[in-house]
A and B are shown apart, each in its own frame.
Chain A
Amino acid sequence: MAAPLEILTAPLPAETDPGDIDAYMAGGGYGAVRKALKSMSQTELIEEINASGIKGRGGAGFSTGMKWNLCADRFPRYLCANADESEPGSFKDRHLLEAKPHQIIEGMIITSYALGINLGYIYIRGEFFQIIDQMEAALEDARKHGFLGADILGTGYDLELYVHPGAGAYICGEETGLIESLEGNRPYPRLKPPFFPAAIGLWGQPTIVNNVETMAQIATIVDMGAEAYKQIGSEDDTTGPRLFGLCGHVKKPGIYEYDSDVTLRELIYDAAGGIRDDNRLKGVIPGGISAPILTPEEIDTPMGFGALGKLGSMGGTGGIIVMDETTSMVDALLNASSFAAHESCGQCTPCREGVPWMNDILRRIRNGQGRDEDLDLLLDICKQIHGHTVCVFGQAPGVWPVRTILVKYWPEFRACIERKELVVPPLEESYLRPDQYEHIPPVPGNFRLKTEEADAAG
């Protein structure tokens, strides 16, 4: 059994207000900033982050070191810390924002210093009212203590960081949507490639967009050193501590910190205490609503980004949604699809039209009016959206939940159509076994049935 970690979740001294900078400093806080600014050069810092092997925690699992190295050699450069956390099933960023605002600020200061950035923003979703207030106060305190502003710690380095609030749109979490939002435009994502934010970002300048947990981890890396950091987890997959959020039908929902070698089974049955009422597991979404679902036979996987990718799923945000045998997968998918239909930004046609269309079809299946051709039609619409949109939203959360829940729980969807009502078949009859569908690499979430039905659907 993997052992829980207490690195990011290390408790603050009892009775301490998480925003209280003096208490944070008494516990060694802002030590990473001092170490970085006083004793490390920019090159050394970038090398340290590279050596740590850290992959970004915003969802894509992209190497942070590589992102920093891609930053174009132009100034000014800007930093945007992404605290838009709106992916259903994800709540680790809220946890960190509530519990460790100063650690996030530390990471932002170190990142800015390493990359020669003098102005940065933390983009916090608008519904996080209390978090926004707390973060603004924390930034003010950091400024008063000389960690922000002009000539930080007497090093001659200047930095200003501000909160920028969102206003309820999921698409602002996508990095180029975030930048458009920050510029005061409609947050329509930008087409990439050719230009990524590290080349042309905020106000046309090189911009680093990193998730807030990534920011907190940067402080951890500087604190413990890359050498120690990469001992956590595995170097050939994902290094460093991870925050896994378990929710849905588990006995003890919450945030659990482990390395990436922990298996999904261990997280569900050991960390989170197993399934409510000791029911049997029906399916689990391992990294936020966009991550392709896994069936009960597939949960002995480690949680690294690479390992989950091999299964045709993804690490995503580490938000794990557990569903027991009483769950209607038709209802669950309809819910996921309604979210996507509501949040499509509307910029491009396949997503704006296709995602709500799939939602309509799923709703009629759920209401007992599904047609024989509906499942094939859904797969066909998936194919038409996939890869044909401006941003990844079209796929995740647009296509992947539909394609993967539909393919894996095909018998349950068929039963609803045939019996013209919502049915939850016995667990054994509700889903296919891994040898009955195949994963089409390299795109995660692309599953194909191995049945004649699928061949007909193409």
Chain B
Amino acid sequence: MATPLEFTEAARERAAKILDRYPAEYRKSAVVPLLHLAQEEWGHVSPEAMACVARLIGCSPVKVAEIATFYPMFNREPVGEHVLAVCHTLPCALTGCGSVFDHLSEKLGIGLGETTADGRFTLRKSECLAACDRGPVLLVNRRLHTHVSPEKVDEILTELEKG
């Protein structure tokens, strides 16, 4: 069994604020926001992170696992420092997201769902990000890039390499 994880003091304060949003008898409602918090802390939600969330809510870890395994946004394995997700649903497909994905894949030398050997980048596809008028779009970590072309991909990557 891996060592139990514990939230930092700062994260525990944020967790308390999150729990405050729901009536005291419905603490379980905080599970998704708390899983987001855990993912911010540790990059992915391991079984230990789920157990940590379960302790805060006061439920069994399997209840948290049931939720964490449903939602695509929760990484259950470590991911790269930067997660790049190319939107590939119909409107972005009509505006050429295919070439954006292929270009990224070639530049990074990885395929769908893979992480570069140096742990810097993970490549994903995403479904409609509700910015279809500005496609193709690319979500880089928390930031949305619009009107993305292969040339713009190069700029974004250069920027990330620097940062």
Footprint of B on A, CB under 8 Å? 85-91, 93-94, 119, 121, 125-130, 160, 162, 164-170, 181-187, 203, 245-249, 253-255, 285, 289, 319, 321, 323, 327, 331-332, 335-336, 339, 342-343
Across the interface, which residues of A come within 8 angstroms of B23, CB to CB? 119, 203
A335–B36 Cα distance when bound, in Å, is 29
A68 to B: closest C-beta gap in Å: 23
Residue of B nearest to A285 (CB): B90
Across the interface, which residues of B come within 8 angstroms of A343, CB to CB? 127
Q: Is the CB of A339 within 8 A of B30?
A: no
The one of B36, B90, B126 in contact with A89, judged by C-beta atoms closer than 8 angstroms, is B90
Q: A126-B73, A127-B139 are in contact. Are A321 and B28 (CB under 8 A)?
A: no
Pairs of residues from A and B, 7 with the lowest C-beta to C-beta distance, nearest first: A167-B71, A184-B28, A168-B73, A253-B133, A247-B132, A88-B128, A129-B142
Residue of B nearest to A181 (CB): B32
Across the interface, which residues of A come within 8 angstroms of B112, CB to CB? none
A289–B94 Cα distance when bound, in Å, is 13
Residue of A nearest to B70 (CB): A186
Footprint of A on B, CB under 8 Å? 21, 23, 26, 28-33, 35-36, 57, 66-67, 70-74, 88-91, 93-95, 126-135, 139, 142-144
A147–B23 Cα distance when bound, in Å, is 21
| Chain A interface SS verdict (over half) | mixed
Q: Is the CB of B21 within 8 A of A162?
A: yes
A181–B26 Cα distance when bound, in Å, is 12
A318 to B: closest C-beta gap in Å: 12
Q: Is the CB of A88 within 8 A of B33?
A: no
Across the interface, which residues of B come within 8 angstroms of A186, CB to CB? 66-67, 70
B40 to A: closest C-beta gap in Å: 11
Q: Is the CB of B32 within 8 A of A127?
A: no
Q: Is the CB of B66 within 8 A of A89?
A: no
Q: Is the CB of A321 within 8 A of B91?
A: yes
A186–B143 Cα distance when bound, in Å, is 27
Across the interface, which residues of A come within 8 angstroms of B130, CB to CB? 85-86, 90-91, 93-94, 125, 128
Residue of A nearest to B35 (CB): A167
Across the interface, which residues of B come within 8 angstroms of A90, CB to CB? 128, 130, 132
A336–B90 Cα distance when bound, in Å, is 6
A120–B107 Cα distance when bound, in Å, is 46
Q: Is the CB of A169 within 8 A of B90?
A: no
A196–B67 Cα distance when bound, in Å, is 24
Q: Could you list 17 examples of A-B contacts with CB < 8 Å? A: A86-B127, A88-B89, A88-B90, A89-B128, A91-B131, A94-B131, A126-B36, A165-B33, A170-B127, A181-B32, A247-B132, A247-B133, A247-B135, A248-B95, A253-B134, A255-B133, A335-B93
